[in-house]
Amino acid sequence: PEVTGAIREIVADYRSRILEIAQHANLPHDLPDPAEAHKQVPLGIPSGPKKPALERAFKPLGYTCHGATGTFTLRRRTASNLTVELYMDVGTWSHSVLAIFRVLGMGFKATVSLPVGARAVLHAQYPIGNAERWQQIVDNYATLVAELDRTLVPAIEAAAGPSPAWYRPES
């Protein structure tokens, strides 16, 4: 209970500040709010395959990419045997994205919804639009995930301690 309480406090802090964190993470693209994004990219313009952009952006960060259409899970293991994931729902017909960052360890799951940009609406889907916009979204998420890997994950590791090597919540 002591450990889960500490993790809960850390996650609550990050959830309350995630837009501020996104503003200070130097995201490479200043994406418009969702209503404006819908106006800028007409419906019906394909964004193309999603996975290649995800693999290019997240492989250097140590993540593997699982999924083909609709949803993707990007995953890595930490030195203390925690599993870090970015779950992305890209829809099959809505062409919108929603992302959740998770840290999983023995006895806990810490989750934070990620904004696509500093002006995004939290917990809401964001229109993907065309291939160029998809690349911008991926670039922003990769930058924000790198920031959370640098700050949030170590804070959770310090509070939780290591998980056993055999513990793999993804299996």
| Tens digits of pLDDT across the chain (171 residues) | 788 999 999 999 999 999 999 999 999 999 988 878 777 766 556 677 899 999 999 999 999 999 987 899 999 999 999 999 999 999 866 788 999 999 999 989 999 999 999 888 777 888 888 889 999 999 999 999 999 999 999 999 999 999 999 998 876
135: which 2 tokens? 């690349």
Helices (H), 104-166: 131-150, 152-160
39: which 2 tokens? 């106006």
d(CA 14, CA 8): 10
d(CA 81, CA 159): 14
First vs last C-alpha separation in the chain: 25
CA geometry: angle 28, 34, 40, nearest 5 deg: 80
Query: 142 vs 36, 78, 79, 138, 168, CA distance in Å?
Result: 23, 17, 20, 6, 23
33: which 2 tokens? 């709010």
Q: Which residue has the tokens 């992302």?
A: 99
Q: Does the predicted TM-score (pTM) go above 0.75?
A: yes
d(CA 119, CA 114): 12
